[in-house]
A and B are shown apart, each in its own frame.
Chain A
Amino acid sequence: MPDDAPLLSVRDLRVSFRTFDGQADVLQGVNLDVPRGTRVGLVGESGCGKSVTMKTIMGTLATPPARVTHGQIMFDGQDLLTMPAARRNRLKGTDMSMVFQDPTTSLNPVFRVGHQMEDIVRWSDRRRGIQRNHKARKARVLEVLEMVRLADGERIYDAFPIQLSGGMRQRIIIGMALLNEPRLLIADEPGTALDVTTQDEILRLMDDLVREEGLSLLMITHNLGVVRQMTDHVYVMYAGSVVEDSPTAELFDNPSHPYTKALLACVPKLDGTATYEGIGGSLPDYTDPPAGCRFHPRCPHATDRCLTRPPAFTVRPGHTAACWLHEPEAHA
């Protein structure tokens, strides 16, 4: 495996759900790369499929009702979808780990913080066949608490989650994800449940850690501002597929897909220049989606062409948009 291959590479991922209303084709061929040492964002509104994508990668999707009908999820050259469950479980929590959204519910209230963190170390030691005693495990936990800038690690080690503030708990959650020296960190709306000043601190901390530890980051969020601040490359999802992907700065300077443009226009701006047009219509019903481009019923530029699903056209190097407006001939 050459080292310049992406650490995580999702290829043509399709996931369907069996529901009362029939089959819902939720993921419609998602492609996504997380190159080594980069920070990648997956952004979209609720119901766009970003959580299903994340759960499929992490292997936490409930099957049934969900079913992966097609595609590959390559992690470091191995397909997560076809590897034996035991191997995949070994990867989870070690090579790839996850930062959860809600610091109030992702820690167990009845166990001390140190106890919960040590459990994680012990389980992964067992999976990797390593023997470490309590003292060595505790040393690792304290080391991580320091990494997430929690002073007074000994006290926090012995504290119950309820005795800590939301921001401290969020740091612990980040620490838990770092315990096993992962290579890929998947963050699900980190800091969303916190106040804006605390969220800002948490995001800065994550950013520092990703750089210091040389991690790759996949961040799932609905907040375009967070994506802009935290990532190098962005994937925008709508109704089960990636509609645009681009280097972050380029995306915000030059949004190319009509959905991305409309979405950016909806974000209230600090300079008071928001528009309140919103996006007409609503997210399609996954059991009966519109033909072709799923955004076309809401798109101001829709033509008959849009009844065929557009491929991802290159707008500029590294920047693609799945929209017929960007078909090369159209520019000629």
Chain B
Amino acid sequence: MSLTTPRADRLRAVRRAWYRFRRNPAAVVGLAMVLLVFVVAIFAPLVAPFPEHVGGFVDFRNRHQPPSWTHPFGTDNAGRDILSRVIFGYRISLTLVVFVLGLAVPFGVLLGLLAGYYGGWVETVIMRLTDVFLAIPALVMALAITAALSPTLLNSMIALALLWWNWHTRLIYTTVASLKHEEYVEAAKVAGASDFHILFRELLPNCVSVISVKTTLDAGFVILIGAGLSFLGLGAQPPTPDLGTMVSSGANYLPEYWWGSIFPGLAILFTILGFNLLGDGLRDLLDVEVN
């Protein structure tokens, strides 16, 4: 008989998971990178050396300063500190991620659950709908939507959310289609459980690992595509410190003033890399197949 308490058991389980996670150095680095981005973004006004440089601030005497101790990433064409703007840029990137995935993931997962569990015409309707969305290249679709609606940050977020749900639907659909034959689902049916119970109490908890791995990997791509939209002038508009916009406006002064777009570009790379390493690590830890 076990002498440990349930609470201690739970704690042990968490420590065991951390032990396994730690043995994957790439994942630990990824986690550190993602945490750094979050901390910096949340405490941006405290962390950024020149928080006032974020808006429409102009200081032409200091424009195009190369990286230095005062301005580690240099200054841009209006004399604003690029590091400060990158830090605030992370806020926008993360808002984008939370908004897009916050809308797309629950919606996509819900449709995936329904399609996978019920099959039949429900499956046919939902899965053919995802096919339609998959047939259109993501960036083209986003361009069309934002162009049709007027280019603002909010509209680009809506466009991305519209594009993203179907990936989660497909993933959850295949997961549920195999899980629904597990004996615990049949046992719940034999006990008389409702479909609602089976969908949300039996099946959904078993999809959490795939969802979290997929969502983590997605976060990097959402940032990338969001930055791409801003780069093309269809996302956040200047002077908002958006990373894509910064790369784009800095590109006008290449190659002499290279730091104007290189540093925001590296900042994008940093987050994407962080999310991907973390996602891969989680995938190994939770032992799930995504895509």
Direct contact of A and B (CB under 8 A): yes
Q: Which residues of A7-23 are within 8 A (CB) of B?
A: 20
Q: Does B20 contact A (CB under 8 A)?
A: yes
Output the least CB separation between B17 and chain A (Å): 9
A residues contacting B by CB (< 8 A) are 20
Chain A residues lying within 8 Å of B15, measured Cβ to Cβ, are 20
Q: In the bound complex, what is the Cα–Cα distance between A83 and B15 (angstroms)?
A: 40
Chain A residues lying within 8 Å of B16, measured Cβ to Cβ, are 20
Chain B residues lying within 8 Å of A20, measured Cβ to Cβ, are 15-16, 19-20
Residue tally, chain B, CB below 8 Å to A: 4
Chain A residues lying within 8 Å of B20, measured Cβ to Cβ, are 20
Q: Which 4 A-B pairs have the closest CB atoms?
A: A20-B19, A20-B16, A20-B20, A20-B15
Q: In the bound complex, what is the Cα–Cα distance between A20 and B20 (angstroms)?
A: 8
Q: In the bound complex, what is the Cα–Cα distance between A152 and B19 (angstroms)?
A: 55
Q: In the bound complex, what is the Cα–Cα distance between A20 and B19 (angstroms)?
A: 7
Q: Please, what's the 1-or-0 string for B1-17, where 1 marks a CB less than 8 Å from any CB in chain A?
A: 00000000000000110
Q: In the bound complex, what is the Cα–Cα distance between A20 and B16 (angstroms)?
A: 6
A-B contact pairs, 4 of them (CB 8 A): A20-B15, A20-B16, A20-B19, A20-B20
Q: Which chain A residue has the least Cβ–Cβ distance from B15? A: A20
Q: In the bound complex, what is the Cα–Cα distance between A188 and B19 (angstroms)?
A: 33
Q: Which chain B residue has the least Cβ–Cβ distance from A282? A: B1
Q: Which chain A residue has the least Cβ–Cβ distance from B17? A: A20
Q: In the bound complex, what is the Cα–Cα distance between A20 and B21 (angstroms)?
A: 12
Q: Which residues of B5-60 are within 8 A (CB) of A?
A: 15-16, 19-20
Q: In the bound complex, what is the Cα–Cα distance between A283 and B15 (angstroms)?
A: 24
Q: Which chain B residue has the least Cβ–Cβ distance from A21? A: B16
Q: Which chain A residue has the least Cβ–Cβ distance from B16? A: A20
Q: In the bound complex, what is the Cα–Cα distance between A20 and B12 (angstroms)?
A: 10
Q: In the bound complex, what is the Cα–Cα distance between A71 and B20 (angstroms)?
A: 30
Q: Which chain A residue has the least Cβ–Cβ distance from B18? A: A20
Q: Which chain B residue has the least Cβ–Cβ distance from A281? A: B1
Q: In the bound complex, what is the Cα–Cα distance between A208 and B226 (angstroms)?
A: 69
Q: Please, what's the 1-or-0 string for B186-201, where 1 marks a CB less than 8 Å from any CB in chain A?
A: 0000000000000000
Output the least CB separation between B18 and chain A (Å): 9
Output the least CB separation between A23 and chain B (Å): 14
Output the least CB separation between B117 and chain A (Å): 27
Q: In the bound complex, what is the Cα–Cα distance between A152 and B16 (angstroms)?
A: 54
Output the least CB separation between B21 and chain A (Å): 11
Output the least CB separation between B222 and chain A (Å): 34
Output the least CB separation between A133 and chain B (Å): 41
Output the least CB separation between A24 and chain B (Å): 14
Q: In the bound complex, what is the Cα–Cα distance between A20 and B11 (angstroms)?
A: 13
Output the least CB separation between A62 and chain B (Å): 14
Chain A residues lying within 8 Å of B19, measured Cβ to Cβ, are 20
Output the least CB separation between A10 and chain B (Å): 31
Q: In the bound complex, what is the Cα–Cα distance between A20 and B14 (angstroms)?
A: 12
Output the least CB separation between B284 and chain A (Å): 15
Q: In the bound complex, what is the Cα–Cα distance between A20 and B15 (angstroms)?
A: 9
Q: In the bound complex, what is the Cα–Cα distance between A79 and B13 (angstroms)?
A: 41
Output the least CB separation between A77 and chain B (Å): 40
Output the least CB separation between B20 and chain A (Å): 7
Output the least CB separation between A279 and chain B (Å): 16
Output the least CB separation between B287 and chain A (Å): 15
Output the least CB separation between B174 and chain A (Å): 19
Output the least CB separation between A65 and chain B (Å): 10
Q: In the bound complex, what is the Cα–Cα distance between A20 and B18 (angstroms)?
A: 10
